[in-house]
A = this chain, B = another copy of it.
Amino acid sequence: MNKSETAVIIVGGGVIGASIAYYLAKRGQSVTLLERGQLGMEASAAAAGMLGAQSEMEDTGALFQWARLSRSMFPELSGELRELTGIDIGLVREGLLNVALSDVQEEELRARETLQRAAGERAQWLSAAEATGLEPALSGATRGALYLPEDGQVEAPQLAAAFAQAAQVLGAKVQPYAQVQGLLTERSRVIGVMTAAGPRYSDHVVVAAGTWSGQLLAGIGVELPMFPVKGECFSVRTPKPLLKRTLFTPGCYIVPKAGGRLVVGATVVPHSYDRKVSLAGLAELMDRARGMMLSLGDAEWEKAWSGLRPQTADGLPYIGKVTAMEGLYTACGHYRNGILLSPITGKVMADWLLGADGDELASLAPWLDAFSPDVSETTLRGSRGDSALTLAHVRQ
């Protein structure tokens, strides 16, 4: 390995790749992050920044456990990043209301309350009057709401930028406009990456390229079924803040940002490889948001955008070591939860790469198995078409 310029090359400068770079640099590891365009410009830039550990997860399985651990890391992380970079990641911990606008939704949310409480989390069903008491801007159609006081939010673009800057302050090399064309291997070992400007060698390679990870891994025969799910969003401004907490209902959320700004999202367009914001998508979101919140029609239009969320066949991210190829790791497929999961993903990937075998890592073992990128080859053989992506793949 003596030609390695760095211990670890990370491919992808979104919030996941930047978090891994940060936690590695924090522990003194030499690390190089390569991003094909500008840092944090894809799904990380498009995210509304919800930390919806409870609101986004439908059960209390591995992903939920992972999510609540990650959520708990934000307060300390916020201070660290600000100290190193001056960037305020905009952490808000005011909770979230899962709003019911129909009987069916009410039932589902009441069931979720029970589930969340059983898992030891705070969750409280509010009547329409109670919910409107907390958030007077809630629409008259509100049947009630599940109040999740621990779920919060951050400014997603700032978080991605802060991770990347902090990594550099701590010694990482971070290179935008460095497109990785393929992984370099020698026998069954990854030895670096090929870029437009030539080869770059390292002991380890981490693929954290969001929805583009699958194609990079496929180039060396590692098949991780993935597909993009486009989400369209828009934002408006109000003269003074109308909400304290995020509102969330199926098909629509409204996240209150600093200074009266509201981010409204998001459509769900699977297998869309373009980033076009469609008129129909916006019109639909506007209708839903106005159905959930009073006087939103008066708000001032700001802008619309979209992003491609990296989804996997079974809805779980691929995080960890790729056993088929020595030196190769991946962390991708976080779908709608990349912002929320970025701290724990970065930290655990750093533990792993540094050979940690401490208690903490051991304690994560059961969950990490669930995210293993070692999907059964038998199951996936011949499965490159989209149809196969709807089958759950089998983790080894």
Q: Which residues of A contact B (CB under 8 A)?
A: 85-88, 90, 92, 158, 161-162, 165, 168-169, 174, 176-179, 181, 195-198, 211-212, 215, 219, 228, 236, 239-241, 256-260, 271, 273-280, 282-283, 286-287, 290, 296-301, 303-304, 384-386
Q: From the candidates B257, B279, B298, B300, name the one contacting A297 in the complex (CB within 8 A).
A: B279
A85 to B242, CA, bound (A): 11
Number of copies: 4
Bound Cα distance from A135 to B174, whole angstroms: 22
Q: How far is the CA of A86 from the CA of B98 in the complex (A)?
A: 22
A-B contacts, 9 listed (Cβ < 8 Å): A86-B90, A86-B257, A169-B241, A177-B276, A195-B273, A196-B212, A277-B300, A279-B296, A283-B297
CA distance A176 to B385 in the complex (A): 21
The CA of A85 and the CA of B298, in the complex, are separated in Å by 20
Given known A273-B179, A304-B301, contact A85–B278 (CB-CB < 8 A): no
Contact B297 A258 (CB under 8 A): no
Contact between A298 and B279, CB atoms less than 8 A apart: yes
A95 CB to nearest chain B CB (Å): 14
Name A259's contact: one of B162, B260, B287, B304 (CB within 8 Å): B162
Q: How far is the CB of A38 from chain B (nearest CB, A)?
A: 9
Query: CA A165 – CA B90 in complex, angstroms?
Result: 17
A274-B176 contact in complex given A215-B181, A296-B279, A298-B280, C-beta closer than 8 Å = yes
Residue of A219, A260, A384 most packed against chain B (CB within 10 A) = A260
Cα–Cα, bound, A257→B282 (Å)? 22
Residue pair A197, B271 in contact (C-beta under 8 Å) = yes
Give A218's nearest chain B residue, CB to CB: B181
Contact of A197 among B88, B273, B279 (CB under 8 A): B273
Query: CA separation between A241 and B170, bound complex, in Å?
Result: 11
Q: For the complex formed, measure the closest distance between the CB of A219 and the CB atoms of chain B, giving whole angstroms.
A: 8
Distance of A295 Cα from B90 Cα, bound (Å): 31
A290 touches B297 (CB 8 A): no
Distance A391 CA – B240 CA, assembled complex (angstroms): 37
**Best-buried of A168, A279, A300, A386 by chain B (most CB within 10 Å):** A279
* A385 vs B197: C-alpha distance when bound (angstroms): 8
CB pair B258–A87 under 8 Å, yes or no, is yes
Nearest B residue to A198, CB-CB: B385
Is B273 a contact of A297 with CB atoms below 8 Å? no
Q: Is the CB of A258 within 8 A of B177?
A: no
Q: Do the beta carbons of B273 and A301 come within 8 Å of each other?
A: no
Q: Nearest chain-B residue to A262 (Cβ)? A: B279
Interface centre among A174, A276, A299, A386 (most CB of B within 10 A): A276
**Quick check: B259 and A280 within 8 Å, CB to CB?**
no
- A236, A241, A256: residue with the most chain B Cβ atoms closer than 10 Å: A241
Contacts of A256 in B (CB 8 A): 86
Q: Which residues of B contact A219 (CB under 8 A)?
A: 181
Contact A279 B286 (CB under 8 A): yes
A49 to chain B, nearest CB (A): 13
